[in-house]
Amino acid sequence: MARPGLNVVMLGPPGAGKGTQASRLARHYDVPKVSTGDILRESAVAGTALGLEARERIDQGNLVSDEVAIGIIRERLSRHDVALGFILDGFPRTVGQAEALDEMMQKRSPLTVLHLVVPVDVLVGRLHARRVCGVCGTNADPTKPDVGVCASCGGALVTRADDDERVVRNRLQIYEDRTAPLVQYYRDRPTFFTIDGNQAPDAVAAALQGAMASAMSVAQGGAR
C-alpha cells in the first residue's frame, strides 16, 4: 500500500519553480519525479512522431491535447517504480486532466496538491533568462554560475524556444485561461496548499516540506 501523502501534484505557472522543487521533493522523499514536459522532450530528441508533434506545440507555447497528456501519465503511473508515490510536474494542466487523474488515483492514497504562487513580472524575467541543456533538456540550476554546459550530461546550454518573451507571455495567458481553474478544482481539499514561490529556493523547499508533513498527517488521520 502506498505511503500516505506521497502522491503529489505541483501546480503553478511556467517559471514558478515547479521542476526544480519537484526534483528536490523527489530526492527528499525517494519517489520518482514524473514530468510530462521531460517525457515529451525526450520523445522529441528521439524523433518519435508523438515527440515531434508535441515539440511543435510546445515551441509555440501551446499545450498538448488532453488525450495525449492523459495517455502519457496513465502509462507512466502503471509502472512499478511509482508504487510508493510520485511527484507530478506538468500534469494535470486542465480540469479534464485532473478528473482523469482522480480516476487513476482510486486505489492510491490521496493527492497532495502544492500550488506555487509567483508575481507575473517575476515569472517573465525568470523564463526569459532560463537556460536548458540542448541535449537532455535538463534545466540549468539558476542558483549556480552559467558555465555553458549541462551539469548532467555535458551538453551545451541553450535558451528554450518556448522561453522567447512573446511565447512566454502567450504561455502565461494559456495558464491563466486553462490551468488556473485547477486551483478552484482542488482548493477545498484538505491536502491543498498554496506556497509563496517568490522566495529563495531553500525557503520554498522548506515551505513545501512543511506542507507535505501536514498532508501526511491528514492522510494518516483519515486512514485510522
Tell me if residue 160 is catalytic.
Answer: yes
Element (H, E) at 186: helix 181-186
Rounded Cα distance between 33 and 8, Å, is 9
Tell me if residue 55 is catalytic.
Answer: no
Tell me if residue 169 is catalytic.
Answer: no
Tell me if residue 144 is catalytic.
Answer: no
Tell me if residue 33 is catalytic.
Answer: no
Q: Which amino acid is at 97?
A: Q
Of the residues 18, 24, 33, 76, only one is catalytic, namely 18
DSSP tag of 106: T
Of the residues 93, 107, 126, 144, only one is catalytic, namely 93
41 and 133 Cβ atoms separated by less than 8 Å? no
Spell out the residues 6+ positions from residue 208 whose beta carbon is closer than 8 angstroms to its own.
21, 24, 25, 114, 195
Considering only the C-alpha atoms of the chain, give the largest distance between any 2 of them, rounded to a whole number of Å: 52
Spell out the residues 6+ positions from residue 222 whose beta carbon is closer than 8 angstroms to its own.
110
- Would you state the cell numbers that stand for residue 93, as one nine-digit string? 494542466
Q: Which amino acid is at 28?
A: H
181 and 158 Cβ atoms separated by less than 8 Å? no
Pairing of strands 132-133, 157-158: antiparallel
Known catalytic residues? 18, 93, 130, 160, 171
